[in-house]
Structure 1
Amino acid sequence: MTDWDDMPPLEDDDAALHQRTGASQLLAQNGLDQSDCSDDNEDMWEEMEEDIHVKTKCLFCDDRTLSIQTCWTHIKDVHEFDFKAFVCGQDMDQIDFIKLINFLRKEKPSPSELKSMDKITWNCDTYMKPAFEDDALLMYDVEDFTMPEDNHMKNKDREIGNLKSTIEGLQEIIDKQTETMQRMLQAAQANSENQHRPSVRTVSCIRPEEDEGYFNSYAHFDIHHEMLSDRVRTESYRDAILGNSLLLSKKRVLDLGCGTGILSMFSAKAGAIVTGVDMSDVIYQAIDIVRENNLENRITLQKGRLEDMEFNDEYDFIVSEWMGYFLLFEGMLDSVLYARDKHLAKGGILLPNRCTMHITGMEDMNSYNKFIAFWDDVYGFKMSCMRSGVIKEATTEVVKEECIITSADKIADFDLMTIQPEDTEFVSEFSIIVQRDGQLTGLIGYFDTYFELPNPVFFSTGPHATPTHWKQTIFYQPRPVPVKKGQVLKGVISVKRKRREIRSLDVKIEFADKTLSYVVE
């Protein structure tokens, strides 16, 4: 058989004759004679002749070869770049391969420059558009792009891939069955006073060494300065405790996550006997603060993780400032519920004892342009592919009340005296009414907190209230949504813990004919 790659270059007339001869051979292989070609076969003849004329342009120079395989050989021999090995090493699928080809055509990097680049350089939808028409390399099946010596490994990889797909399919079935079992377990729990293991992973499942980063974040003084400077937060706890001193006097109080000990000292001032617990090293400063205020005879502080600790007494009150961004971020509520079930005396009370979550809509083109539209023109360059990643990350900002464009709706109501950890994962419908014509740029989440005592105390983290360090959680829309006054906007929000980082949240919002996914972390 003739090796086309080893033939000497053809002159134009000889090349044409050679191409016609090759076409005739192709017809003969299909049982046809050129003289037998009728009008019905004319299209097939033209297609074959067109295929023969097409040459493949090198990715790094203007050289054109007769075949794609010759092109790969040319790149390896002339440019000293093993393109096959590069593609295999990047573990590319067909989309990745197409983007790479178009990137090389448009940007024209040298082989040495390409070697130093990361896959993210060309992994952009911009490079899905062909650099020029009829680029033969774009038709190449990357599945066939395996070096002969790697064929065995490729087959093994495919076998492993098929096995992984089978395992994933089985895992999906197991997950569905597990979900069914969880619902059955929850139904059983509703009819039983016995305590069962919660059906969701709680923070007690995290090994202490894995959770070290979380607790270390509370060893920095600036975070305590921020919380203590939050007058809404600190004064609400003060008023709830000191405003109900008769209730707390001579009672046992557990201060969970005591930090600098401010809630322990409010409780001691109300006449209570207090035990404070914290896992971070700030507990050592708290001990000095208690001594400095001559309260060591009423307050005992211990360093450690609550779930690993034992106490001699039960407590009449458990006080904790556990709330995170969008209420549930950080997952500290798990520890509060654990303490409630194991250490709260019969008839005891949690402070606070109730929290609600709410959602509303905003129009804030300034913040939208700052965080989202910014990527459309970055110093003259388009970076719109960054939008999806930016939108996915919910932001925490103080939203001005005048930016609110809709009513609010409650999406969750937690009675902390009765809820279970699995109740913090929920799906809720919402309905909000537009209050003026405008552009809805995002949805806002916030929470309210209740101390339902003889002298009740309440505070809100909503945009209509005095700003707190919790601010508001913003879920931006990809594009502003035009709205009219009186329009009713309906949606569904789903809140779940992240599977691995269970202190963080996965939030999905079905709204404005879209389903958008967000993370709160």
Structure 2
Amino acid sequence: MSNRILQAGTGGGSSGSDALFNARRQSTISQAYTQSEYSGSEFDEQDNRWDDWEDEEGMEIAAAKCLFCAEVLPTAREVFQHCTSVHGFDFLRARQQHDLDFYQSIRLINYLRKQAQEVAGFDQTTTWALEGKEPFLGDDEYLRPVIEDDSLLYAFEDLELDDNDSDSGEAGAAGDNRDAAAGAASMFWMPQGDAKIMQRSAYDDVETTTELEAKLLKQLRHAEERLFAAEVQLQNTEMQFQEYRTRVKESFFDTLEDAASRSVASSALGDEDALAGVVVPPDEGNYYFNSYASSDIHQQMLNDRVRTEGYRDYIYENKDIFKGKTVLDVGCGTGILSMFAARAGAAKVLSVDNSDIIDKAGKNIAENGLENVITLYRGRIEEIKLPCKVDIIISEWMGYFLLYEAMLDSVLVARDRFLAPGGILAPSQTRILFTATSDESFLNDSVHYWNDVYGFKMSTMKENVLLEAVVDFVSPETLVTNTVTIKDLPHQTITVAGLDFVSDFELEMQRDDLLAAFVGYFDTWFTRDGKDVPLDVGISKEELQKHSMNGFTTGPVYTRSEETHWKQTMFVLQRPLELKKGDKVKGTFYCTKNTRNPRALDLRIVYEVIRVSGSSSSDDDKADLTFYLR
């Protein structure tokens, strides 16, 4: 589970999306393709021509997309005619009948765009009616364009009903309505309660004498309204950012306590004094939970077949464990794990999430007829009250490098508060592994690139590029050392305090090659009894079958079908080490939560190269490196 998936769009909490990190690798290259040396003047001679101010028909030259389906038509008027004839909605008439002002019209267009993107079968709509009292007409969320450069947003004000669609009386009323709408648009209330008032237009007293002057005046007024709308959106954003900063300060800087106290304080279910001492993992203005509210991030995770089928197979192949039991799903998301458990025979499933996605989860559960088994709870697991203890806790909490996002902290609190004696967690154990690769591609793309940018050196751009650990796929054939465990996490017994760790490691070169980056990833086990998995038990299918367990790895694999959205985490060296077979890299790995943002990780690698006899040493044979995951 990882909110970084959000950055990938539809191209990881959790957290497959190659687009995100391919885009990151290409970011430095794309900078060279911004503005070239030559660009036309911002105030080109051609910009001063009167023909830039088109008449009403001229405004329609930009092609526009239908509000309901994928049809693209040459002009805005044709789009509205298409919406009327094919989808049964006359936008221009509805705007007149319901006296919609400029902002309500913008909201209506963006609302329909959003429905077309998210509602299955919306493109087949044949009748659609507007009552004029819909909540979205006052929802500022729909002032934000759904489609970039949406020409309908710029054209609708200049389109009137055709003469044969409105008699003279209606036209006169429409004119009065437009005047009233202009007056209504002169005031706009901010959603936080602070009012931003659009001042009286400087053009209100201008009298026009020609048709051209009237059209120019109308364009100026429209431009003034759009500028005001942009100012409102900017003010909204600034206020939200200030609120975000305040909450971060209150949650992170002022109230962060020692993580160890969370597990101790949350041990007693129903003990109000004990629960009062629980420290809730802070969140930046609810950003973390909001990042899991949209459907696309959940689709990315569900499309990770290794992840989703790993949970499904464990639950379905061990139905005897789930039959008649009470199950708690921590961070239920779409409800998929809850529904697996219900189908496996669980008597009761308690599904908890603090994101808006829980509303959709409820509909998913009802659609599959499981609402009598699954009960949804909105809130943080550290604060929420549940009706009983549970026999099994399931949760997909893993982040990049396993611990990014700190959701395991919440699962351990759930364990201490709600798990009955003898209960089990699924997954029951995870393990962070450490190895090294000879792959220099990221170093070349992100660092060496700046050595020659169209014939220019830009060395300053290299600064701090490699401080952030890189999440990307590593080819297994590039691994040059053995793999070691640097952190074993038995979920039944580990404490929150134990999630910050220091671990010694020793890697040995398997062949003569470069060591360009250290690599971290994690393995996951599901056991029937929650008992610890011995260190000598691997994650191969044969090992899992031998020990009657389920599980999966996020390590480097040879086939795309085995890759996960967690990928691997690389700690790239500034200069690769040239090593011989048998050379050893001894060191210590440090992993701690960031003090200002506990969902992020601060990482440190201190190492020394021990070369085989006869090998020459390098200045880089000893190093103390710091990295971070944000």
What RMSD in Å do the two structures reach over aligned CA positions? 2.5
Letter matched to residue 423 of structure 1:
G
Q: Which among 498, 503, 508 is matched to residue 599 of structure 2?
A: 503
Q: Deviations over 1:45-93 (max 9, x none)?
A: xxxxxxxxxxxxxxxxxxxxxxxxxxxxxxxxxxxxxxxxxxxxxxxxx
Query: What is the CA–CA distance in structure 2 between the aligned matches of 1:410 and 1:470, rounded to whole Å?
Result: 18
Q: Which among 460, 464, 470 is matched to residue 385 of structure 1?
A: 460
C-alpha displacement of 1:365: 2.3
- 2:407 maps to which residue? 332
Query: In 2, are the aligned partners of 1:239 and 1:457 still within 8 Å (CA)?
Result: yes
Tell me, yes or no, if structure 1 residue 234 matches structure 2 residue 308: yes
C-alpha displacement of 1:313: 0.4
Task: Structure 2 unaligned segments of length 5 or more: list them.
Answer: 1-257, 530-547, 608-620
- 2:571 maps to which residue? 475
Tell me, yes or no, if structure 1 residue 519 matches structure 2 residue 628: yes
Matches within 5 A, 1:393-408: 393-408=468-483
Tell me, yes or no, if structure 1 residue 249 matches structure 2 residue 342: no
- 1:353 maps to which residue? 428
Q: Which among 295, 303, 324 is matched to residue 378 of structure 2?
A: 303
Q: Which among 495, 504, 520 is matched to residue 445 of structure 1?
A: 520
Query: What is the CA–CA distance in structure 2 between the aligned matches of 1:205 and 1:461, rounded to whole Å?
Result: 26
Q: Deviations over 1:2-37 (max 9, x none)?
A: xxxxxxxxxxxxxxxxxxxxxxxxxxxxxxxxxxxx
Q: With the length of structure 1 as denominator, give the TM-score of the two structures.
A: 0.60
Query: What is the CA–CA distance in structure 2 between the aligned matches of 1:254 and 1:355, rounded to whole Å?
Result: 19
C-alpha displacement of 1:332: 0.2
Letter matched to residue 604 of structure 2:
K
Query: What is the CA–CA distance in structure 2 between the aligned matches of 1:414 and 1:453, rounded to whole Å?
Result: 17
Query: What is the CA–CA distance in structure 2 between the aligned matches of 1:442 and 1:434, rounded to whole Å?
Result: 13
Letter matched to residue 463 of structure 1:
P
Q: Secondary structure at the match of 1:307?
A: coil
Query: What is the CA–CA distance in structure 1 between the aligned matches of 2:461 and 2:491, rounded to whole Å?
Result: 40
Q: Which among 215, 219, 232 is matched to residue 289 of structure 2?
A: 215
Letter matched to residue 629 of structure 2:
V
CA distance 1:430–1:245, shift in 2 (3 Å): same
Query: What is the CA–CA distance in structure 2 between the aligned matches of 1:324 and 1:251, rounded to whole Å?
Result: 28
- 1:140 maps to which residue? none
Task: Structure 1 unaligned segments of length 5 or more: list them.
Answer: 1-181
Q: Deviations over 1:112-162 (max 9, x none)?
A: xxxxxxxxxxxxxxxxxxxxxxxxxxxxxxxxxxxxxxxxxxxxxxxxxxx
Query: In 2, are the aligned partners of 1:203 and 1:502 still within 8 Å (CA)?
Result: no
Letter matched to residue 452 of structure 1:
T
Query: In 1, are the aligned partners of 2:330 and 2:411 still within 8 Å (CA)?
Result: yes
The structure, 1 or 2, with the larger RCO (C-alpha pairs under 8 Å, 6+ apart) is 2
Query: Number of matched residues?
Result: 330
Q: Secondary structure at the match of 1:330?
A: coil
Query: What is the CA–CA distance in structure 1 between the aligned matches of 2:623 and 2:454, rounded to whole Å?
Result: 30
Matches within 5 A, 1:278-317: 278-317=353-392
* Rg comparison, structure with higher value: 1
Query: In 1, are the aligned partners of 2:428 and 2:491 still within 8 Å (CA)?
Result: yes
Query: What is the CA–CA distance in structure 2 between the aligned matches of 1:375 and 1:408, rounded to whole Å?
Result: 33
- 1:22 maps to which residue? none
C-alpha displacement of 1:449: 0.6
Q: Secondary structure at the match of 1:239?
A: helix
CA distance 1:433–1:249, shift in 2 (3 Å): same
Q: Secondary structure at the match of 2:603?
A: strand
Query: In 2, are the aligned partners of 1:202 and 1:502 still within 8 Å (CA)?
Result: no
- 2:233 maps to which residue? none
C-alpha displacement of 1:386: 3.2
C-alpha displacement of 1:450: 0.7
Letter matched to residue 280 of structure 2:
S
- 1:432 maps to which residue? 507
C-alpha displacement of 1:307: 1.4
Consecutive aligned runs of 4 or more in structure 1 exceeding 4 Å deviation: none
Letter matched to residue 500 of structure 2:
E
C-alpha displacement of 1:489: 1.4
Q: Secondary structure at the match of 1:470?
A: coil
Query: What is the CA–CA distance in structure 1 between the aligned matches of 2:463 and 2:622, rounded to whole Å?
Result: 17
C-alpha displacement of 1:383: 2.7
Q: Secondary structure at the match of 1:276?
A: strand
Query: In 2, are the aligned partners of 1:203 and 1:331 still within 8 Å (CA)?
Result: no
Of stretches 375-384 and 260-269 in structure 1, the one that deviates more from structure 2 is 375-384
